[in-house]
Structure 1
Amino acid sequence: MNMKHYEGYTSFSYLKGNKDYKQYNLATELDRIPAYSLHLTVEEENKLNEIMNEKPIVSLRDHGFIVPEKYEDILPYCGELHTFFHYEGIAKSGIDIIFENFMDGISTITSKNGLKWDDVIYLLGMRYADIQRQSTVFIARTYNDLTKAKQLKQTALLPSLEAASILENELDRVDILYGFGIRCMGITYNEANTLGSGLIEQRDGGLTNFGRRVVERMNTLGMIIDISHCGDQTSLDVIAESRDPVFMTHAGARALWNTPRMKPDNVLQACAEKGGIIGVCAAPNTTLTRRSPKHSIQSVMEHFEYLVDLVGINHVGFGPDTFFGDHVALQHAFDDILGISASHSGEEFKESLYVEGLENPVEAVRNMISWMIKQNYSIEDITKASGQNAMKVMKKILV
């Protein structure tokens, strides 16, 4: 098993719980649900180890965030500055690079007035302070940083923001965020902002004039643009406006599951034609299919195969979007306060309590690679999807 360096550190252990911060009971166990196995043969296991040990392993969206055990604690906990990161779990995942947004959407959810500029600065500063105390993960700011992760037996975190809403109408905030280490930023979350329309809006007005200026500034700085949560027209506008390829860090195919959270073929194709990468999402009850309505690795990988057929293996990657703990409970807490269920509207389905085979970062990317091995994909194609595609594009964008 390819494991990163881990010395037993737990978040904020340099502080005292219930003195320096409010302490919550968290879902720290990694075996929350029954273990899942793809029953690899010895030969297949050897292939998996070869890929994990020798090739770049990239998750375009995953989280070290640990969900509280009690549902009623989720929203209060999410409003705290001291939220815990599962260093042991990330170490066991073997992932070299994670696009990590440190749950920047928390303040959007817990505040009716939305995410504030100070919230993000405080959030980043507190997370960086905790990271400074341990040796499992490190903050990556350049492409060269990313290439060191495997050699160092650490996981490189590429600081990301889910949406650019905190810019409001101040362009220079893009540069300030870059200075604070942000290297990937979404244009919108689910709702519209000053840049464009999110995916739940009934009318998508496309990229605004300010949004075009932001795209240009991000290109100039060398910051990855993410359109996972943008409306369709806004997505197309961003792709057309950007000089660089654009990422969908965690998405799926609307042709297989007709919800706003999934992307239509024309948007997927436009992204690929610009040289972009589409990360296949596994957040609970998103990448379902009519053939596999119970959310599992099978339904997720149906989206993967559809994307490969549509745009080619060179433009597809993994963006599982997993957590440690009950992700479905987290979704419900967010939906309850927002009064919407943006990811799931448009199709009737029976809710899956978790995604079988893709429960958390420990197993998600590893099992996606294992699934490809079981399906007799070539080492070359597996290597592309598991990290090489993303690395190739990041080399063009990051300085």
Structure 2
Amino acid sequence: MGRDKRYDQYESYDYLDDDAYEQFDLPAVHAGFDPYEVPLSDDEEARLNAVLDDTVISLHDHPFYFPEHLSEDIQDYIRAGRARTAFEALSETPLDAVFDMHLDGLSHIHSHHGWKWSEIVHDVTMRAADIQHSDYGIRASGVEDIERARENGQLAFVPALESAAMIENELDRLDQLYGMGIRSIGVTYDASNSLGAGKGGVYEVDGGLTTFGVDAIARMNDLGLAVSTSHASKQTTLDVCDVTVKPIFDTHALAQGAGMGKRGTSDEELEAIAATGGVIGLLSSAHLPSIDEYMEHFEYLVDLVGIDHVAFGPDVLYGDHTELLRVLAADQGVELPESTLQTEYVRGLENPTEAWQNIPRWLVKEGYSDRDIEKILGENILRVLDETWA
């Protein structure tokens, strides 16, 4: 279907009266940054339209708005537990599916630190109720739903979580999450948990995957939950790659070898993920000033693990991402790395609309073949899902 999306004018929680829940001012799609479009010739524009007939999937994004007045409203917005999906803005992209990462580390709906079982259930089910009231958005429980979305000009939301912290020591909670529609889950979110060590800070001890973590990966494999090692420690990632019987994802990563340093993922981990048959999604970050530096990491990954194991997981949202990091850091009493604050926004990648308009344009402009573009934008991910969701 390409860019011919059948947006139905539905906006988040239209099924309720405005006075049924707390309202917040939301930013314009391009508020706070100068929009940028990768320039193409007329011939390249024609080719772009042709390649976008194939499936386009984001492996990692937060496809909803944060409030316009972040410092004033962010905590109330989170605790209200009703993230506003950007349906109209998403319809301006070529996306057929997006791995929807929910509030995740910001899921402190009922507590200060988040990741509690009740908070994840609230976030997942509230967003499910909203999406299911839209004719444009559908929730994907299988590959056929993504294919149906592409054919019908809809957008498939793949419910996903960045950590399994909320299962605590209960394997059956993985079954419950699957029953709620979750189809991809991370092992840790920086901090260590009952499954294994997180990427964390200087005080994290990298003990790798725990015995319970081994059992959890086996249950994920059995259920058909796609596993991600984003935010996991090096040893945890290597251990997951060793014990999984299905391909895995790192849904959003940057490479140490491309200049990211300790915050990036090592070549050894990236190669181990690829060796499972898995796929690495490329992360956008304030550490990178523009799409050009972003694509340097992409080309590094392609050279390292091959075109069959790379995709895109920008990890962007609608709102001022850098200001959000500032506000959250201040709330937690931590200091952001200087590299995070070197740019106010990433030129060409600031939110899902801009990112997913520009990523295919860059690939066409740089002369990637139709076949390679098809793999990078969707087919690699579908291949892994065919194996893991079966």
TM-score, normalising length from structure 2? Answer: 0.94
Is the aligned partner of 1:233 residue 2:235? Answer: yes
What secondary structure, in the 3-state scheme, does the structure 1 residue paired with 2:353 have?
A: coil
Following superposition, the deviation at residue 44 of structure 1 comes to 0.7
What secondary structure, in the 3-state scheme, does the structure 1 residue paired with 2:263 have?
A: coil
What secondary structure, in the 3-state scheme, does the structure 2 residue paired with 1:45 have?
A: helix
> Given that residues 239 and 274 in structure 1 are in contact (C-alpha distance below 8 angstroms), is that contact kept between their aligned partners in structure 2?
yes
Which residue is 2:375 aligned to? 384
Note the 1:299-378 alignment, pairs <5 A.
299-340=293-334, 345=337, 348=339, 351-378=342-369
Structure 1 pair 272/9, CA: closer, same or farther in 2 (3 Å)? same
Is the aligned partner of 1:282 residue 2:284? Answer: yes
Comparing 34-43 with 332-341, which one deviates more in the overlay?
332-341
Following superposition, the deviation at residue 348 of structure 1 comes to 4.8
| C-alpha distance in 2 between matches for 1:89 and 1:8 | 11
Comparing 168-177 with 117-126, which one deviates more in the overlay?
117-126
Which residue is 2:245 aligned to? 243
Which residue is 1:63 aligned to? 62
| C-alpha distance in 2 between matches for 1:375 and 1:110 | 47
Comparing 243-252 with 373-382, which one deviates more in the overlay?
373-382
Structure 1 pair 190/259, CA: closer, same or farther in 2 (3 Å)? farther
Is the aligned partner of 1:218 residue 2:220? Answer: yes
Matched-pair identity in %: 40
Instruction: Provide, for residues 340-364 of structure 1, a one-character-per-residue CA deviation record: whole Å limited to 9, x for no partner.
Output: 46xx75x757521111001111121
Following superposition, the deviation at residue 365 of structure 1 comes to 2.5
Structure (1 or 2) with the greater helix fraction: 2
Structure 1 pair 377/193, CA: closer, same or farther in 2 (3 Å)? same
> Given that residues 141 and 158 in structure 1 are in contact (C-alpha distance below 8 angstroms), is that contact kept between their aligned partners in structure 2?
yes
What secondary structure, in the 3-state scheme, does the structure 1 residue paired with 2:194 have?
A: coil
| C-alpha distance in 2 between matches for 1:84 and 1:68 | 9
| Letter matched to residue 38 of structure 1 | V
Which residue is 1:164 aligned to? 164
Structure 1 pair 198/339, CA: closer, same or farther in 2 (3 Å)? farther
The gaps in structure 2 that reach 5 residues or longer are none
Following superposition, the deviation at residue 16 of structure 1 comes to 2.9
The gaps in structure 1 that reach 5 residues or longer are 289-294
> Given that residues 106 and 114 in structure 2 are in contact (C-alpha distance below 8 angstroms), is that contact kept between their aligned partners in structure 1?
no
Structure 1 pair 111/29, CA: closer, same or farther in 2 (3 Å)? same
| C-alpha distance in 2 between matches for 1:388 and 1:349 | 32
> Given that residues 81 and 109 in structure 2 are in contact (C-alpha distance below 8 angstroms), is that contact kept between their aligned partners in structure 1?
no
Is the aligned partner of 1:79 residue 2:73? Answer: no
Which residue is 1:188 aligned to? 188
Over aligned residue pairs, what C-alpha RMSD do you find? Answer: 1.8
What secondary structure, in the 3-state scheme, does the structure 1 residue paired with 2:160 have?
A: strand
